[in-house]
A = this chain, B = another copy of it.
Amino acid sequence: MNNPRHIKDLLYEQVARIGKAASSPKRLELIELLCQGEKSVEVLARETAISVKLTSAHLRELRAAQLVETEKQGKYVIYRIANRAVAEFWVAIHSLAEDRLVELRLVIEQMASHPKELAPKDRDSLVKLARRGDVVVLDVRPADEFLAAHLPFARSIPLDELKRRLSELPRDKTVVAYCRGPYCLMARDAVALLRKKGYEALRLPEGVAEWGMTPVR
């Protein structure tokens, strides 16, 4: 059985393994989360609101497709993205989805709720503003994710500490908050809180994965 058709079938079948891994909403959410940094099964389950058992099963699939790697640390199993290419694929697939699927764009729009929440998409100019201190780039993800990687000149105040650490932010600067990416709601909530307290705040819908800064190894 070495005919051309047989060979081709083998080839596309392998590529389809990646597609299969990316065909479940839960697995995609796990991938996005792992793009923020390595995590244990328990943490992944908590953050995604999936049962530990089911999380484990989905991670098993991701590992079968070689998209994630594991390392046993004591009684924990730490999962991480296999390499940067996986993060780039996550960005590629969700970007294509946003490009093609009206339904997705609709949900994203209604997520923004207030029209002025979107920050400028131009990365260079944002970095320039942040470097000069004209805006404060605020990372509202958990501290360990900030530690693993963060946008240039960002400072870390996790969302659940924001209320009591408001005083750390200058009142006269615009705050640009970001979190895990366009589907994460933490930055949205942070901006809502900041505005209620009188700050000028914008949400940057991108995260480290979209900026090509996913931590690996």
Contacts and interface: CB of A to CB of B under 8 A. Distances in A.
A18 B100 contact: yes
Contacts of A83: 99
A200 interface: no
A159 to B, nearest CB: 12
Interface residues of A, number: 50
A14 B97 contact: yes
A82 interface: yes
A28 interface: yes
A19 B97 CA distance: 9
Interface string A1-43: 0001101111111111111111111101100000000000000
A90 to B, nearest CB: 9
| Centre residue among A12, A65, A83, A86 by max chain B CB count within 10 A | A12
Given A7-B185, A183-B8, A185-B4, A101 B14 contact: yes
